[in-house]
Structures are given as structure tokens and as C-alpha cells.
Structure 1
Amino acid sequence: MLAWSAERHPHRRAVGGARPMTFRQWDAYTNQLARALADLGVRRAHRVVLHMGNGTELASCYLAVQKLGAVAVPLSTRFGLAEVEHCLRDCSPALVVTDATTSDLSAQARAALPGPPASAHTGDPDDAAPGSVALAPLVQGQPDGPLSVGIVDRQLSVLLYTSGTTGRPKGVPRTHAAEHAATVAHVLQSGQRGDDVTLGVMPLFHTMGVRTLLASVLTGGTWVPQRRFDADESSDLITREGVTALYLVPTIYWSLLRTGRLPELTSLRRLGYAGAPMTPDLAGRLVEAVRPRSFVNHYGSTEIFTFTVEPDVAARPGSAGRAGLFSRVRVIATDEGAGPTDVVAPGEPGQVIASMDSPEAFAGYWRRPDADRTAIRGGWYHTGDLAIRDEDGNLWYQGRVDDMIISGGENIYPADIEAALAACPAVADNVVVGLPDERWGQTVTAFVVPRTGADPARAVREVQHFIRDSSGLPSLKRPKRVIAVDRIPRSPVGKILRRRLTGGGYDALADTAAGPGAPDRTETTR
């Protein structure tokens, strides 16, 4: 895809930011980089771990690995030592590439392995850990012509480790064919064009970051890297680089909105999101601030990039839409053993499953047959997500199957409650979980982050009044307990880590609970 775009648009800007490159320059540089990696022993099908911060060098290494027919393994920079060591043991890489931010941690992880892999370092050679080869001098002087490596479409392209919310990271291997199909689908479903300039702040260890990069490469657009998200820096980049398209998680949109600068970012014309649900309140504020020409919700996963797509978030905020271009999706009963024929009626919550026949789909987890047996049954991928399909066929995400609250024998789904609480003026962020209760089994509990500068005790009182008088929630769904916290725990890509809250992993700023071991109603505890 990169070589084709370089032939079509050799002088068009491919990479923006501090180190801009045309497509011809980027194609040549990644050819040179690929040859340097080959000199370090990288061959077809070898895994190459890219443990680096976001940016042009990571993206270039990613593309160079592809050109060798090797397998890129970008690791999260949020992983700790145990997680990095696990991933290295699991994928047995031929090479680990690091930068100044990861060199020491990576060296510790490699030292714990028998027969540790070779290591290369980007950037300043003085920042490299002992035994790590500086990559830049190896690149200089390499020829920049195309490599004579034949790549088969069913060959592995990338191995992405999902951080998940619990347990060890699982490897999701994806082929060149699946990556190409997912990129084509993304371009068509988002309406991306060759004159689009896209902000590349989503990390390349996540499928959203990979898709943002590859969609720009495929269409001949411009990819503008940002090393790590900072709302003001992002706003500056959008203005300076003329960014037209954003594909982000909802938490980043919240941060951009809070800067108050979105109406000034007049180059923006396309918004897209994935990774987590977006509240109708946030969607409405974004529409008002940006007035985008298109606003798309992509619902999917690393395993199968697209499940469903909502092409008009402005018209149907909160909807996950219908099956994507290459997808088939069903909503089935949540009973153990339910299969693709056990479809629930419209309006009834059920588990989302997606067909493994999609050309975007993976073929199974990396060395995890136990995970395959759980997730892949009868040719369908069982997502573990809850959704309702309406009479028009649109999906409305309700959370994870495990997130369902059972209170007094009734099934309660957090999504509707969270969407209602998002409209409360006292609330900057919220999540609803079920906490243990002797009488009811679980009690519906709202964790809220008070708006900036608000007194926590007063905020929870305001939330209580809002729930009772303005939320529109039926009695069954009204949170019986409200706890103010300084933040909602999330994964690096914005997924809520509910188990931390249900396991007591929080510090209450204020709590409406009363009883032994809990503060009096709305008593500030910090």
C-alpha cells in the first residue's frame, strides 16, 4: 500500500509533524530501515517487538517490518515489567526495538529470559541499554529501492497484545489479508479521502492506531503523529497541520471538549470513535462544537476489526448501527451454550456474536487454545458484549455480559444509567456497577467524578437529586448509592476497569452509604 501510494503521489505529504516526509521519502526510508533490520538477522515470519513511544519512528519501523515479511509486535508502553516479560516469552521475538522511554524496562525483561533476543535502539545511541545496537548508523548508506521479498496474503502481518481488563495480555495474530480488508472497510465506512489529514495519537499497539496509520497510507492522505495525548498540544497540531479527521476514543474527545477550543479548530470535518461507548450528551456537544460533515461510530475489536458501524452519530447518538461492510452480526441469548440460532427478539438484551467468515477476522489467539474454545464457537466470535437490536436493525450497546447487575432477581444494564447520569451538571465522568448487598444481592452504585472545582459532598447530593427528579430512570435503575472519586479507572485506550471498583480499588471523596465501615451520608472522606 505504501509503495503504491508513493508511485501515485510521490510528492504528496505522507507524514506531518516535526519530521515531515513525502510518500516517496517515506517509502525510501522504510526500505532502508527494513534492510538495516535484515542486517540484524530479521527474516520472514520472525517476530519483531516494537517497544517504543508513539511517533514517526515507531510507524516507520512497523512498515519496515512488513516489507521484510516479518511480524510486527508493538507493545504497550503502559505495560509493566511482568507484562513485557510475558509478551517476550510468549512471542519469542528475533529482535526487540526500543527507544529512550522503554530501553531500561525492556532490558530488564530480556535479562529474565533464557537466550534473550537481540535488541536495537532508535534515537540517540547514548540512550541505549548495554548490548543494544544503535539502529540509525545501520540505516545510513542502505539502498532505498524496493525489497525482493514476496509476501503472501495469509502470512502474519502483526501480533497485537490486548491489554484487556483482567488477566495476562493475549496475542491476536492478524494476517496481511485481514489487515488490508480492515483498512479498506475503515476507509469506506468512515468516508476517508486522499486529501484528509488525520491525527495519529491513538497508539500503534492498539488496532485503532494501526487503522489510522494504514488508512492514511492506503488513501494517500497525511498522518500527523503525536507521541502522547495532551489536549492543548492536540489542538495546536490540529490547527498547525490542518487536521481534517479524528478517530479517537470518547475519553480523548471529552478532554478536547474541555479545552473550549474545539469551535476554533475549523479544519475538522470528520469525526469517528471506537473503543468504548459515547454518551448522547458528549455526542451532542461534539456536533455543536465541530459541526462535522460526518460522524461515525465504529464498533468492533482487535479480533474482528468491524462488528457494526453507525454512519450518522448526530442523528442516532448512542447507536452502534448495523453490520459493517464485511461483517455479519447477531444478538443471541446470554445463556451458557447459546449459539447463532438462539437469536433474541428486537428490544431484548443479548450477547453480540460476529461471523468468523469476515475477511477482517483473525483465525484464533496466539498459542491460546483455551481462549479460542471460549471465544470461537460454531464459526462465530462471541464478543462478551451485551446489546439490544431495535426494530430497525440498529444495535445499542449495553455493556459487557459480566457488567450486568442482578439486583433483587432483576437484570439491570449499566449503559442506560450511565448515559442518564452524564447529563447531570455535577458530573464530569461516571460509571455504574453492582456492589455486594446482603438483601438485594447487588445494589446499583454510581461512581462519579465531580465537575472541576466542585465539593465532592455537595456533588453527590446534587447527583442524588438529579437521579430522583430529572434522570427519567425508573425506580429499578436508580442508583441507590453514589460515590465520588477523583477519576474513573480506565485502560490505556479508554476501557473502564470496573473490576477495580467492584474489588474496592478506589478512594472515596464522598459516599452516600451509611453503616459500619462506611462514611456517613455525603461525608467527605479526604
Structure 2
Amino acid sequence: MDLATALTWAAERYPDRTAVRGTGRHLSYREWDARTNRLARAMASTGIRPGDRVALCMAGGEPLASLHLAAQKLGAVSVPLSTRFGAEELGYCLDNAAAKLLVTDSTTAERAAQATAGLGSLVVRGGGDLDARAEGESDAAIPDVPAETDISVMLYTSGTTGRPKGVPRTHRAEHSAAVAHAVQTQQRNGEVTLGVMPMFHTMGLRTLLASIVVGGTWVAQPAFDADESMGLILDQGVSSLYLVPTIYWSLLRTGRLGEARTLDRLAYAGAAMTPSLAEQLVEAVSPRAFVNHFGSTEIYTFTIGPDVAAKPGSAGRAGIFSRVRLVAPQIGAPPDAIVAPGEQGQVIVSMDSPEAFAGYWERPDANEKSIRDGWYYTGDLATADEDGDLWVAGRVDDMINSGGENIYPDEIEAALIRCPAIDDVCVVGLPDERWGHAVTAFVVPAKGIDPLTAAEQAVAFARDGSGLPSLKRPKRVIAVDSIPRSGVGKTLRRTLVAGEFDALADSAKAGEA
């Protein structure tokens, strides 16, 4: 199945059902199908042909979603790019993708002008320009639909470990992932979903496409704002959320999440969720379904934890289209080096999944590192419990070697976040003469708590209330204004390890005073 056909068939099934509402346009499926047909022809009028790359650097919401779908109908490759990219990074991705067209809006136009200064063959258009062109175009169906083996989209990874990597994904992979998402998060026909996750990330695209698969209503919000999000959830009757944990924290802090009577489906991905957050969400929402999705841009689903309320923190078992193994974590370990029951191993996933990509765009070095004998090496470490469910311990790269012992931050963060003096925490290893690397906790003080008090109380909580063994207790606690995160909520530990932070208070220095 290709995505152009998926939208057209949804419009045939439910022509008058609301497909899009929220901020911006409200469209039925019939209207959305017609609008994307006109936009596809408007793209073609700029010289875009099937297979050409169309870069989209815009705030989220209906305009971006419609352009993405229009590219599918034209058979072009949509390349949604992070609005957080600087001019240099944006220019690199445009050049790397060999984009023929870049569509911007008022939030990105200036940066795009800087990024495209040396890219003479690239056509740059504003979203409003394409809208104007589309008004004069026919809304009849595009006669030639893409093959399911054609590339639908190229997503760029965040680039926290170097240059962003292009991840080309076929129509088959995108549609399979949308179907898997709908089944695995227990979506119902007509589900009403908040569309706030950025569409340059796999979670944002999955929310959009799964909504189309189930004939649902996608409630558009261009950028996250907790109070606006709560207003949309309440006013639009949102029934399903698929978010990163940091956004759930923000929604809880509005104090209004418990008012959302229509909301009964929760799912999360992108980062670990602490048991404390899971407990608070269960108390506020009492969801009928609460799912942990563990996966990546490259292969959408690794595993699914289907009942977070019953088993908070568990990543569960392989998804409906997935095959997963735990193998020896050493570099170069073959796919048959399966660890013994209860032992920690690296998560690898079969490339035979219909949700899988085929390899990175023009990056044989990355392919050699991550793909071996038909398996994708995720870089995530996990153990399997007696039920066969996975418990992810963190990334190989995030491991802290302190005093000769390997320590993973997730467990420590899950314990420390319960300290009432802090609102957020990130644990890393900082160089230390005695320990090699000292377990260091960066904390954000709770409202009304001064930084030094927050740091000191976190130290005391780690010692007396966390249940952590002495080896895993932070040797140092540093209070900061905020924890650095990517546009989709992933913690950027390397920023802190590199010393890129402003300390408000430091338990080590306080102890020296």
C-alpha cells in the first residue's frame, strides 16, 4: 500500500468525517483529499517530478501535514527537516538529500535563506506561495500513484553524535508502521488524536498516518504549549495521546489533565518514562490503554510494552511486525551471540520487518556499523525478565564506568526524580581522578526551592530515600535551569558531559566551602 492511496481510500470510506481540526483549517476527508491533490499539482508546477526530493522546513500543523501528503501523491520524496537545525546543519541536509524544492514559512524563511546561499539549483518557496498556486489547480485525483517500494520520506536523525544521517523509508515501510502503530496502541475507528509531535520525527508522522489509517481526526497543534494543548484536548474531545515523557510532565503540571473525560488512550516513546510519571498519569487519566513503544526512525517498532500501568518501565516484547534478539554487547558480536536468560545484551532487530529501512542515505560507514547479516544493531542495552519482557538499561554510549563498574543512568534517574526538591534530572559520568568517571546528577530545582537546597536535598534523598546502592548514588549534584533536550524530548547527555552548562549550585563545591 502507498500513502497516496491510503488517504484517497480513507476519503472514499468517510468523505464527510472530520479529518483535521485544531489550530488552522478544519477539513473533512473529502476536502483533505482534494486539497492535497491541488497541492501536488502546485508542486509539479515548480518542476517537481516523481522521485525528486522536496524539503519541508516549517512549523507543524495542517500546512506541513498537507504538503507531506501532497508529495506522496506526486510520487516525490518528502524530506521534513528539523526547525531546530541551524543554517549550517540545514544546508548540509539540503545538499546531502539533493533537494529540488525547499518549502518554508515565516518561522524558518530567514534561516533557510542563509542555508541555501550556495545551493544554486534549489528552488525555495514559501508555503503561502504553494497555497496560492494550488487554488488554480484541479482537485481531481493524480492519475499515477507511487509503487509501495518507492521512497516516501527521508528523515534525518538528530545529529547529536555528528552529522545527521538520512533515513530513507518506502511507502510500504511507512504504511506498515502506521498500521502497526494503530494496532499496538489500540487505536479505534474514528480516534481523535492530538497532532503536536514534530513531523520531522517518526512519532509525529506516525500519529498523522495512523489517524488516516483508522479514519480518525488529527487535532493539529503546530508547536507544543502545555496550556494550549490542554485546551485542545478538552475542547476537541481528544481521546488518544502519543507523546514523549517530558510533554506528559508538562501536561500534568497544568493541573487539568484529570478533566479530560474523553481521553483514555496513552502511549509514549522517545525516552524512558519513570515509574513516578507513569503512576501520576494513571491516577490522573485512568487510561484503558497505556502503551510503551520502543523503536527508532530506522525500524519503527522494536518492542511494545502493552500495559504500562501494570508493568511501568517494561519495553515488553517484539511488535507485530518485528523480531528481536539480545546479543553480546561487544562490538562486532554476530547475530547468533545470544545472551543467556537474565543477562544484559544489545538489542538487535530483524531487517526483514516491513517497517524497516534499507540503509542510510549515502552512508556506507553507518551501514557497516549498524547493519550486520540482516539485523539492525540498535545500540540499546536490555535484559529480559522471566516473562520474556525487555527492560531497557540505556544506550551503550551512555554507560558510566565508575570504579571499574558499569552503571547506567536510567535507573538512577528513575529513583532521583522522586525527590520532592527537584523537577527534572539527568545523570551522566564526569571525569574524576579517583573513580575514572563520577556519577553526576544534574537537577532542575522544584518551584520555590533555591538551587543549593535542591542540590543538597537530592544528595540526601539519594543516600536515605532512593534505595540506590552506594555505587550508584551521585558523587556530585549540580543544579541547572533546565536539562538539554532535542526537539522531540531526547536528553542530550553529551552536552552536559562536554561542560556546556551553567551551574546554579554544585554539591561538590558546597562541600568544599
Asked whether the two chains share a fold, i.e. TM above 0.5, the reply is: yes
Aligned to 2:47: 41
2:380 to 379, 385, 407: 385
How does 1:419-498 map onto structure 2 within 5 Å? 419-498=414-493
Question: Secondary structure of the equivalent of 1:111?
Answer: coil
- CA shift for structure 1 position 143: 1.2
Shift of 1:116: 3.1
The residue aligned with 1:342 is: 337
**Which range moved further: 64-73 or 414-423?**
414-423
Moved more, 199-208 or 420-429: 420-429
Task: In structure 1, give the amino acid aligned to 2:98.
Answer: S
Matches within 5 A, 1:26-425: 26-113=32-119, 115-123=120-128, 134-425=129-420
Distance 1:229 1:522, change over 3 A: farther
Separation in 2, partners of 1:88, 1:201: 24
Deviations 1:129-148 (A, max 9, x none): xxxxx222211121111111
Q: Is the 8 A contact 2:100 2:121 kept in 1?
A: no
User: CA-to-partner distance for each residue in 1:331-379, whole Å, 9 max, x for gaps?
Assistant: 1111121121112223322211111111100000011111100110111
Deviations 1:270-303 (A, max 9, x none): 0000001100000000000011110001000000
Structure 1 pair 57–522 and aligned structure 2 pair: CA distance change class (3 A): farther
AA matched with 2:511: R
Q: Which runs of no fewer than 5 residues in structure 1 stay unpaired?
A: 124-133, 514-518
Whether the 8 Å contact between 2:478 and 2:505 is mirrored in structure 1 is yes
Q: Is the 8 A contact 1:161 1:205 kept in 2?
A: yes
Given that residues 450 and 484 in structure 1 are in contact (C-alpha distance below 8 angstroms), is that contact kept between their aligned partners in structure 2? yes
Separation of aligned partners in 2, 1:141 and 1:101 = 26
**AA aligned opposite 1:478:** R
Kept after mapping to 2: 8 A contact 1:354/1:381 = yes
Q: In 1, distance between residues paired with 2:167 and 2:313?
A: 28
Q: After TM superposition, what 4+ stretches of structure 1 lie above 4 angstroms from structure 2?
A: none
Percent identity of equivalent pairs? 64
Could you tell me which residue of structure 2 aligns to residue 131 of structure 1?
Answer: none
Deviation at 1:150, TM superposition (A): 3.1
- The one-letter amino acid of 2:165's match is K
| Amino acid of the structure 2 residue aligned with 1:229 | F
Amino acid paired to 1:187: A
Write out per-residue CA displacement over residues 56-75 of structure 1, whole angstroms, 9 at most, x where no aligned residue. 11000000000011100001
Separation (CA, whole Å) in 1 of partners of 2:70 and 2:342? 48
Match of 1:6 in 2: 11
CA–CA separation in structure 2 for the residues paired with 1:244 and 1:167: 38
Inter-partner Cα distance in structure 2 for 1:308 and 1:40 = 42
Q: Distance in 2 between matches of 1:341 and 1:451?
A: 47
Q: TM-score scaled by structure 1?
A: 0.95
Task: Give the superposition deviation at 1:178.
Answer: 0.5
Structure 2 unaligned segments of length 5 or more: list them.
Answer: 1-5
Letter in 1 for 2:415: A
Q: What is the distance in 1 between the residues matched to 2:322 and 2:271? A: 19
* Residue pair 2:480, 2:504 contacting (<8 A) in 1 also: yes
Separation in 1, partners of 2:408, 2:109: 43
Residues in 2 aligned to 1:455 and 1:30: alpha-carbon distance in whole angstroms: 52
What is residue 3 of structure 2 aligned with on the other side? none
Alpha-carbon distance between aligned partners in 1 of 2:338 and 2:222, rounded to the nearest angstrom: 44
1:243-272 CA distance string (max 9 Å, x none): 110000000000001111111111111000
Confirm or deny that 1:521 pairs with 2:511. Answer: yes
After alignment, is 363-372 or 142-151 more displaced? Answer: 142-151
Distance 1:360 1:369 in 2: 21
For residues 315 and 173 of structure 1, what CA distance do their matches in structure 2 show?
A: 36
Q: Determine helix, strand or coil for the equivalent of 1:419.
A: helix
Which range moves more in the overlay, 262-271 or 342-351? Answer: 342-351
1:522–1:201: structure 2 CA closer, same or farther, 3 Å change rule?
farther
User: Post-superposition shift, 1:489?
Assistant: 0.7
Letter in 2 for 1:487: S
Aligned to 1:499: 494
Separation in 1 of the partners of 2:228 and 2:323? 39
Where 2:242 maps in the other structure, the secondary structure is strand
Superposition TM-score, scaled by structure 2 size: 0.97
> Which one-letter code corresponds to 2:17 in the other structure?
R
SS at match of 1:255: helix
In structure 2, give the amino acid aligned to 1:442: H
Give the total of aligned pairs.
507
SS at match of 2:162: coil
> Do the aligned residues in 1 keep the contact of 2:11 with 2:30 (CA within 8 Å)?
yes
SS at match of 2:116: helix
Equivalent-residue separation in structure 2 for 1:20 and 1:211 (angstroms): 20
Q: Secondary structure at the match of 1:367?
A: coil
Residue 522 of structure 1 and its aligned partner are, at CA, apart by 8.5
Q: How big is the alpha-carbon RMSD for the aligned residues of Structure 1 and Structure 2? A: 1.1
